[in-house]
Every structure is written in structure tokens, then in C-alpha cells.
Structure 1
Amino acid sequence: MSQSQFSLLGKRRFLPFFVTQSLGAFNDNIFKQSLILAILYKLSIDGDRSIYVNLCALLFILPFFLFSALAGQFGEKYPKDKLIRMIKVLEIVIMVVGAIGFLFNHLSLMLAALFAMGTHSALFGPVKYSILPQHLHENELVGGNGLVEMGTFLAILAGTIGAGVMMSATHYAPIVAAAMVSVACLGYLASRGIPPAAAASPDMRLNWNIFSESWATLKLGLGQTKAVSRSIVGNSWFWFVGAIYLTQIPAYAKDFLYGDETVVTLILTVFSIGIAAGSMLCERLSGRKVEIGLVPFGSMGLTVFGLLLWWHSGDFPQDVQANNWLAILGYGQAWWVLLDILGIGVFGGFYIVPLYALIQSRTPEKERSRVIASNNILNALFMVVSAIVSIVLLSVVKLSIPQLFLVVSLMNIAVNTYIFKIVPEFTMRFMIWLLSHSMYRVEHRDLDLIPDEGAALLVCNHVSFVDALLIAGSVRRPIRFVMYYKIFNLPVLNFVFRTAGAIPIAGIKEDKAVFDRAFERIAHYLKEGELVCIFPEGKLTTDGEIDTFKSGMTRVLQETDVPVIPLALQGLWGSFFSRDPNKGVFRRLWSRVTLVAGPALTGEQSQPARVRERVAELRGAVR
């Protein structure tokens, strides 16, 4: 029985890292938010205070441009557990400098510490995401990323709120100083529990030229496979969208909800809870595997709830005095706004977690840290562009903040349409995911018998036109399906089959060229160590029973000797896509389907008749 992703919090290979990174995010925001509040309300400053607030944002993000490429090299050259501990020691030193700045109201010292803290975060980023695939199993990667995203956003929220509470005290400086240094020390102590994570490329020669290396790192990331490179772009687009929402929330709460500071905190809380909930739900919705089909789902949700936020933002009742958070909750319209904010957060989690997991799982280990570093550089660039776009649309074009949300939602459609067009695998996986979570309730039994790596021939009974889609949506590894060419050419489904690299086959008398080419491709994919799935009956069942297995699988095994994994589909007969004459249009909608796997068969056991017997045993009496 599969364990919840929360079980990772009880494992040494994850918990110390999780605590370390959460405390780092918490401390980042305690320091940054306390500094901003000090500039706005506490320090004696001549001139426009907003200039210093914007300078804070620049100083924190600038190191991601300057040092991410160097951080990527560090993450591959040195053991990641030792590197994390060194970075945490650096955090203690930085926080001591920042604490002295607070104690003596020394703005320049605080700004220098902020830049150093941005450098600390830039150095930590590539290690943070590249260490996960070393300590987690493949079926834990989505859950682990979900926990990391949940921890990060809740830590950001806690740091933001905590800074506000501490800065409200009369003698705030010693409280803030003690908190920053204490959290940094706790982060270092937590990091000492992180298990060893070996260097991927210990012989790498470091390039200290940050400009040439940054360019080379960007090219490395964007030069990966289309799935990875466009996932990096999609990831950075999320931060573009997220930066706009987070930046505009204070002004939105004040000017459109007529609320005070507590309303800003309420909205940030709802948004953070949404991101955390979406990140947590990813594992359940993805079946504990890297399911990029959730990315289009997340993108759609971001657009829909962004449009709804624009729609619900007009004509909010205005009182003479600013509303606090309790007063805001007295308005029905405010609940719609908060629901929209929650929806943006939840679907943001659906969008971002699978992208991070895909980048980690499909990047070569020796390049993983640098690829993640390229992602961080691009994230920083997109966030700067988002600030410029916001300034232009709000100050030059004179859009309102809700209208800015509308424009961003429409831009989201355009950007993700481009990504999904370039990498149709996203759309294909979404269609598979949607099918297995709408018309069918798919349960799995013993799928862990399918090897995590290496070639194998999957053999299954053939009940409906969507058998391949249901199997593809259940098994963690990509599968090459062999299917009758007329099913392969079915409208709509053909897009899915082509994108998945399915192999069309015809009878030898129908089209010998297609027949021979199919066996050539099967042999090629098996020699490359891939999974190939065949339906040896050669046609859909017309009565729900398993027909004779044809000799084609014998030819496959003669050319490439690989283990045979028997599979059985239960419960599909009578569903909409089966050939049951009594199925009806809506009969057995949302059918309960079970996919069962059996132990590998080799030698004499892999003869067609023996394999058919085993598949029949797995299926049992449930057609």
C-alpha cells in the first residue's frame, strides 16, 4: 500500500533538508519584510521612501543574475550536503551583519546584508532542487517537490506575518536581530542532519567569469530536450505571473477592497494556503509519478480564476474608514474575491510542481544543478520583466489593477498555448489524465512489478479503444504501444498516439510494409531499454472474453529476448469505448476500472498460450 507524501517527513533523507530550506525561506522574508517596514515607518530617511523599497527588491534579485551560474557549478563539483552546510554558515554571518544594521539603524549595512542574503538564496537554489532526485525515489519526486513548495510558501507567509508582528513592537530592533540570527543558527543545525549527496562532476573546472558562465548556463538549460527547455520557460512564466499578483496585492487591497494592512495579510494567507494545497494535491492527482498532464490543467485554472478575479473586483462597497479583515468578510463579494485568490494559488501549485519534477527527472545528473541554475537566472529575468510590464500598463497605459489581472490572464493563454504546441506531450498527457479521472475511475494493483528501468514487453487483454490511454496514465514509465493502424488513425486519439510514439501495425496481408516496419520499431525500442506494450489478440473483444493470443509476440521475443509482464484490464467491458452492443451512450459513465500486473515471465512461460492463461487469471471474472 502506497504511503502518503507526508511520510517523507519521517525520513532522514528528506526531513533535515525540508527543515533547512523552510527555515531559509522563513529567514529571507523576516529580514526582507522587516527592512521594508523599517524603511517605510521606522528609519529617518530623506527623500522618497518608495525608492529604497524598490532598491530592496533590486538588491535581492540581482544576485540571481550574477551568481546562479556559479552556484550551478558548485552544485555539481562539490557534495551537496557539505555545500548546504557551508551556505548555512554564510547565512549566520550575513544575519549577524544584518542584525548589527538593525541595532544601530544603519541602513547601508542592512542593504548590504540584503544583497548578501540574495546571494545566499542564489547559491542555495540549484542545490535545493538538484539534491531531491539523489535522496528520493522516482515515485516520491512529485510528493517531495509538493512538500518543498508547500514549505516554501508557508515559510514566506510566516516570515512576512512574523516581520509585521515584530516590527510593531516599540523596541523592535533587538527582537528582529535575535530572530534572524536564531533562525539562521537553527537552519545550520538542521542542515547537519542532511545525509551525504555525492558530487555529480567532482573534476569540473570552475569558470569564475560570471557573465560568460551565465550565458553558457542559460544555453545549457534552454538547449535541453524540448520537454525540459519549455518546462523551464513555463516555470519562469509562473514566476512572472506570481510576481505580478504578489506585487499588486497591497495596492489592490487598499484601493479596490478599501482594506487596511490586515486585509493584505488575509489575501497573502489565502494565496499561500492555495499554493500549499495545490502542491500537496499534486501527488494524489498524479498517482505518485511525474504527471505533466497536470500542467495544462493548472494553466487553465490560472486563467479562469484570474478572469474571475477581474470580474469580481468592481463596485466593491466603500466605507468611510478602511476595512479590517473581519469587516471585509462581512461582504459577500469579498468571499468571491478570496475564492478567486485561493483558486489561483491551488492551480498555481498544479502548474509549478510537475514542471519542477519534470526538470529534475529528465535532466542528466551531471548537468542538473546547472540546468536548475539556468532556470533561476530566467526566473529572475522574468520577474524583472514583470515589474517593467506592470509599470508600463499601470502608469503609461493607465490600466487599473483588476485590468492588469485581466491582461495577465489573457497573456497566460497565449504563452502556454505556445508551450503546449511546441511540446505536444503536455496536451497528450493532459488528455490521458483527464480520461482516467473523468469517464473512468482507474485503480491499480501490483504495478510495482513493472521494472523501473530496462526493457520489458507488456502484454494485455484488449477491451476498448482507450486501453492504451488508461495504461499510459497508470504506469510511471513512458510506454510504446503497438496498435492496429485503424485505431491508431482514429480522429483526436491519433494526436495522442502519435505524440506518445505508438507503433501502428497492420495484418501481413493488409499491408506488409506497415507490418514489417512495426516489428523493426519494436525491436529498436526494446534494444534501447524501453517498455513496449502489445495487445496479442490483434483486435478488440466483441464479447468481453479474451481471444487467442497471436504469434506476433513470439517473433518479438525471438528478435529481442526481454521479460514479459502480463497485464489485465478489469471492468472495461460495457463502458462507452468498448464494443458491447448494449453499452448505451451514458451507461456505466465513470466506470470503475482496475489495471493488474503480474510477475515477469521468461523462457517457456512467455509462449503465447501460457501468457494468455496468466492474463486471464489476472483478469478473473470481472470483464
Structure 2
Amino acid sequence: MSQFSLLARRRFAPFFWTQALGAFNDNAFRNAMIMLVAFQMALPDAQVSLYTNLAPALFILPYFLFSATAGQLAEKFEKTRIIRYVKLFEIAAMSIAAFGFFTHHVSLLLVVLFLMGVHSTVFGPIKYSILPQALERGELVGGNALVETGTQLAMLIGMIVGNSLMLIAGYGTLAASLTTIGIACMGYLASRAIPPAPATAPGLRFNWNPLSETWRVLRITHEDRAVFNAVLGISWFWFFGTVMIAQLPTYTRHVLGGDGSVNTLVLTLFSLGTGIGSLMCERLSRRRVEIGLVPMGAFGLTVFAVDLYFARPAVTAGVALNWTAFLAVPGAWRAMLDLTMIGAFAGFYVVPLFAFVQSRAPRERLSRIIAGNNIVNALLICIASAFGIGLTALGLEAPTIFLITGILNVAVAVYIFTLVPEFLMRFVTWVLVNTLYRVRVDGLKNVPDEGAALVVCNHVSFMDPLILMASVRRPMRFVMHHRIYDIPVLRFVFRTAKAIPIAGRQEDPALLERAFELVDEALANGELVCIFPEGGITRDGSIQNFRPGVDRILARRPVPVVPLALRGMWGSIFSRRDSALRRARLPRRFWSRIELVGGAPLAAGDANAAALEARVSELRGDKA
């Protein structure tokens, strides 16, 4: 099922349009206000500069003040009701804005800007914490991709519409007022169709002190190191984006030699790129939370940000070209491609991070963790603004700032991936499996999303654990022969995935006993453990007898057993077909079409080596 089918489902579509309309209104109002202040009120330059620099600060301030409170609200109360109150608040704010537009009351408009910041602050924790309640686990990536795409496009259209409305001679303020109020009303009507989303922590004791609650929310966000570093990654995305977008107007004028239409083109390509990258995440990840895309996104951001420094269209100084004339300039397409690809890799980067936080964080704390994420985001946005202003004050041009930001992105990515090797491990796994194979999966919903379970599978090649790791949504602890565990490069992947090395009784009895202890400990902790009961890679393509180790595991820890079978692996790369010397060699089949199929779980009492061997053989069929 395509991610776009979610737009036809009530559990997602009304929420999608509610948040998209809100993002549109935020940007339409802000840009209409800037157009009014900067171009229609004949204010001194110093006063215009004060207002335009004050505006972002006023919008971001509520994130510091009220994010922690908003997180509590989203946990303690039914979310849909809060969304409707937020949309009524938006209607009231836009009504006040209409009065400010007509009276040219700038101070009142700045108050409304602060109120819209409050609106976004309260809606933020709900925006991402409601998705795991409305969507299945396999829909999280697609849902996040649609939300990210919808938000980017709504923001872009809102900016364009806000600017355009104020340019209507004689009717600009009326058009802006009616549009923003109308969109707020449409958002409220859409919110009426959102299905109920029950409170995840109704017994939460509410803390009205924003300072102490902010500190508590940040502590909660920090408790799971992987989640916290995903939050840092998301916040870095906002830092990177803020620096890049802030330079675009001066970059458009002085480097691209373009007018306002070229600036609109630049923003459009950036937003479309982000939308395309976000939507591609579901296909690239096969509908699982694939954090292996994050390092690829970080790499792409750096490559194209650095290339943007070298992409210098051959424009004539002092000439402001419109967008059609600009596209005819030599070198223009290279700059446009860089901007589009920066957006696309931003999608690869941020969508899996949001899905990772949603899938990993406890449901009863997710809203507060999203609130903590928003606080850190706001801090990084402020630092990014100061960073951009500081580099500009030093006399650096926009392309140089792009170059510095791209290089800095490498350092931050290395830092995050060093702290959480799981990100890099997933990337290595994703690249290897998708380079060497074309994998079709079926029946993997039989693997439980939580709780202890044992997974058994036939063993055809050295790559089997990586294929399972890349295909099964839930992390698994693999039991594997210590020589495979120690293969260079793959050892990093297996160690990071907490694989369990094992040896034969005659080879290393101590390691064997240690492996069984670790398996039992993992199952006792509610983890998923995968074993290859044949005890080695097949040498003739047939399934070998399952050894009694599986019986020993189940006798000590009776848990459900999920049978899996690899099909089409025999003769693929790293299998042992045609190897006279009994070692893997380059095969005749590269980028093989293979399948991974799953069967219904067996209760521990019904599972033994013989029964599981028969079930896996049945699942594999004659596709060796």
C-alpha cells in the first residue's frame, strides 16, 4: 500500500490537512506583515530592520516558554480536543491580525506573531506524538514523509501567497485578512474530523512551573541516549536549514543576479527537494524505520552545500534577472540542482529521525520528548541566526557561509554517529544489502513488535544476518558463528547490533555456554533473538538438519518462535555454490532477486528442532 493512500483515510487525512493549513497560515501571516512593514508603511530603514529582526525572535520565544507545558497537555488530555482549541485560538489570533492590518498597528501585529508562536508551540508535541496512535508501525515513515512534505509545501505556498496578497493595489490588507481568517476556519473544520486520540498519561501530575518543567522535560529527553542523539540530529537539521535559508535572499541578489522571482524559484526548489526526499524515504526504507538513511542524508547535505560554493553562474554584476532569463545563464542549472538536492537529502536526513524517535520513545512520554525536541530546536535556530549574522559581520559572502556550514555538518555528523554507532551500522547494512540484492519480503508482520520471541531461519550465505537485519522492522540479536562475527567491516555491524558469537562444543565450550546465557538474558529482557539452527552455511543449497540448541533455548525460556525462510539465495553473492575449495567466491549472480518470507508464530510447546525444520522447509519451498 502506497503512503499516499493514507490521504484517503480518516485516521490520517484530517490531521494532515489541519497541520498543513496551520503551516500555511503561519507563513502567510508573517510574510504579509513583513510586506506591510517593509514596503507599504514608509518607515525608516532602521525601524524596518528592527521589526524584521524582532519578528523571528517573537515567534520562537514561546517554544522556550511553553514547550514543556504543551508536552504535558498532549500527554494528559485527549489530543483531538486540544487541536480544536488550538484552531479556535488561531481564528481569534487572525481576527486580531486583521484589525492590525487595517490600522497599520505594527505592535499589535507583533503580538499576533507571538500568539502564532504559542499556537505552533502547543500544536508541536501533538503533531508528532499523534502519528504513532493513528498509524501502524509500518506506516510511520510514510506518514512522517507526508507530514514533512505537506509542511514544506504549505510553508512555501504561504510565503508566496502572503507576499502576493499584500501587493494587490487598494485591497491588499483586506485580501490578507480574509485569507488568513478563512484558512484558520478551514483548519478548525478539518480538525473536527480527526478521530479521538486518547491521553497516553492521564494520571500525569501537571506542573505549572515552566522553568522546572522545562528542566524535567529535557531530563526525560536525555534518558535514552539513542533518542536524545536523534533529537540532536533533528535540531542540527534546523540549524543547517536556518543558516542556509537565511542566506538565500543575498545569495539570489549578489551571486545569482536574480530578482524576487528568482528568490521564489530558489525557495520552491528547496521545498520541492525536501518533499521529494521525504516521500522517497518510504520506498528506500521499505516502510520500516530505517535510520541507515540518516548518514546518507548527512553526506548529501555536505556534498551539495560545498558544491554550491563552487557553482557560480556567469551573471553580469548589477543586473537583476527574472527567473526565465536566469535559467538561460550558463551555470544556473548547476546551482538549481544543488539547492534541490540539498532539500532532497534533508528529507532523507530528518524523516527517519522523527520516525525513530516516535518508534523508540515510550508512548506515555513521547509528547514530552517531542516538547524537549522543540526546545532544543528553538535553541539551535537562535544559535544558527547568530552564527549567520556573525559570519556576515565578518564580511563573508553567502557561498562561503554555505561552504563553512557544509564542512561543519561533517563534524557534527561524525560526532552524532560516534555517540550512536547504530546509525552508521544501519547505513552500512542498508548499503550492502541494497547494493548486492533485490529483496522482496512477505509475512514479516508475524514478527511481534514487542515482547520476547525467537526467530529461526535457514542459513545460505554470510550475508543472511544483514538481510534479516535490513528487512525486519524490529532490532534483533543474532546468534552467529564467531568466525562470521569477526569478518572485517561486518564485525562493526555485528558488534553494534549486539550479536552473540557462538562456537561448537569441541571448538570452544566456554564460548558456547556464554552464548546460551546471553540468549536467555536477552529473551528475559523481552528482546528478539534470531538463530540459524542448521549450525552453519549450507554447502549444497538444501536445508540441513536443525540442531538441538533451539530445544535447549526453549526449554529454559519458553517464548513464541517465528519461522523465516530465505528464498533464491543459493548461487547469490557470498553463498557457497560452485566453490570447489569450500569458500565463498564471486558468483554468477549479482544483485540477485531474493525473498524473505515469514510464517505464523509457534507456541514454545509446539516448537522443536524437527517441527521448525519442517516449517522453514515448507516456507522456502523449492526456491533454494
Larger displacement relative to structure 2 (440-449 or 173-182):
440-449
Q: Provide the residue aligned with 1:208 in structure 2.
A: 208
Does 2:298 match 1:299? yes
Q: Distance in 1 between matches of 2:617 and 2:255?
A: 64
Equivalent residues in 2 for 1:503-522 (5 A)? 503-522=500-519
Q: Distance in 2 between matches of 1:273 and 1:528?
A: 44
* SS class of match (2:530): strand
* Aligned-partner residue type, residue 194 of structure 1: I
* Aligned-partner residue type, residue 166 of structure 1: L
Q: Provide the residue aligned with 1:596 in structure 2.
A: 597
* Aligned-partner residue type, residue 198 of structure 1: P
Q: Provide the residue aligned with 2:586 in structure 1.
A: 585
Task: State the shift of 1:98 in Å.
Answer: 0.6
Q: Distance in 2 between matches of 1:332 and 1:468?
A: 49
Equivalent residues in 2 for 1:333-352 (5 A)? 333-352=331-350
* Aligned-partner residue type, residue 493 of structure 1: L
| Percent of residue pairs identical | 50
Q: Distance in 2 between matches of 1:200 and 1:564?
A: 31
2:370 to 366, 369, 372: 372
Does 2:99 match 1:106? no
Task: State the shift of 1:451 in Å.
Answer: 2.3
Q: Distance in 2 between matches of 1:618 and 1:370?
A: 44
Does 2:411 match 1:410? no
2:428 to 425, 428, 431: 431
* SS class of match (1:437): helix
Q: Provide the residue aligned with 1:358 in structure 2.
A: 356
Q: Distance in 1 between matches of 2:585 and 2:323?
A: 53
Tell me if structure 2 keeps the 8 A contact 1:68–1:122: yes
Equivalent residues in 2 for 1:218-229 (5 A)? 218-221=218-221, 223-229=222-228
Tell me if structure 2 keeps the 8 A contact 1:256–1:316: no
| CA deviation map 1:245-286 (0-9, x unaligned) | 111111110110010000000011011111111111111111
Tell me if structure 2 keeps the 8 A contact 1:76–1:366: yes
Which consecutive unaligned segments of at least 5 residues does structure 2 have? none
Tell me if structure 1 keeps the 8 A contact 2:63–2:375: yes
Tell me if structure 2 keeps the 8 A contact 1:5–1:140: yes
Rate the CA distance shift 1:293–1:31 in 2: closer, same or farther, 3 A: same
Does 2:265 match 1:250? no
* SS class of match (1:441): strand
Q: Provide the residue aligned with 2:440 in structure 1.
A: 443
Q: Distance in 1 between matches of 2:499 and 2:585?
A: 29
TM-score of the superposed pair, with normalisation by structure 2 = 0.97
| CA deviation map 1:176-218 (0-9, x unaligned) | 0101111111111111111111112223333222222222222
Task: State the shift of 1:292 in Å.
Answer: 0.7
* SS class of match (1:419): helix
Task: State the shift of 1:584 in Å.
Answer: 5.0
Q: Provide the residue aligned with 2:183 in structure 1.
A: 183
* SS class of match (1:200): coil
Task: State the shift of 1:562 in Å.
Answer: 2.1
Does 2:33 match 1:35? yes
Q: Distance in 1 between matches of 2:566 and 2:300?
A: 32
Rate the CA distance shift 1:46–1:399 in 2: closer, same or farther, 3 A: closer
* SS class of match (2:423): helix
Task: State the shift of 1:61 in Å.
Answer: 1.1
Rate the CA distance shift 1:41–1:575 in 2: closer, same or farther, 3 A: same
Task: State the shift of 1:448 in Å.
Answer: 1.7
Q: Provide the residue aligned with 1:232 in structure 2.
A: 231
Equivalent residues in 2 for 1:42-81 (5 A)? 42-48=40-46, 49-81=48-80
Q: Distance in 2 between matches of 1:621 and 1:202?
A: 53
Q: Provide the residue aligned with 2:261 in structure 1.
A: 262
Q: Provide the residue aligned with 2:524 in structure 1.
A: 527
Task: State the shift of 1:605 in Å.
Answer: 5.0
* Aligned-partner residue type, residue 558 of structure 1: A
Does 2:609 match 1:608? yes
Q: Distance in 2 between matches of 1:335 and 1:584?
A: 44
Tell me if structure 1 keeps the 8 A contact 2:313–2:332: no
* SS class of match (2:331): helix
* SS class of match (2:471): coil
Q: Provide the residue aligned with 1:85 in structure 2.
A: 84
Q: Distance in 1 between matches of 2:611 and 2:167?
A: 76
Larger displacement relative to structure 2 (73-82 or 234-243):
73-82
Task: State the shift of 1:224 in Å.
Answer: 2.4
* Aligned-partner residue type, residue 371 of structure 1: I
* Aligned-partner residue type, residue 16 of structure 1: P
* SS class of match (2:364): helix
How many pairs align?
A: 618
Q: Distance in 2 between matches of 1:326 and 1:460?
A: 58
TM-score of the superposed pair, with normalisation by structure 1 = 0.97
Task: State the shift of 1:586 in Å.
Answer: 6.5
Q: Distance in 2 between matches of 1:332 and 1:606?
A: 68
| CA deviation map 1:94-115 (0-9, x unaligned) | 1101110001111111111111
Q: Distance in 2 between matches of 1:390 and 1:263?
A: 22
Equivalent residues in 2 for 1:492-503 (5 A)? 492-503=489-500
Structure 1 consecutive aligned stretches of length 4 or more whose deviation exceeds 4 Å: none
* Aligned-partner residue type, residue 368 of structure 2: R
Rate the CA distance shift 1:289–1:33 in 2: closer, same or farther, 3 A: same
Give the superposed CA RMSD.
Answer: 1.5
Q: Provide the residue aligned with 1:384 in structure 2.
A: 382
Q: Distance in 2 between matches of 1:605 and 1:78?
A: 44
Does 2:116 match 1:117? yes
Task: State the shift of 1:467 in Å.
Answer: 0.3
Q: Provide the residue aligned with 2:278 in structure 1.
A: 279
| CA deviation map 1:274-320 (0-9, x unaligned) | 111111111111111111111111111111111111111x3632165
Q: Distance in 2 between matches of 1:572 and 1:359?
A: 34
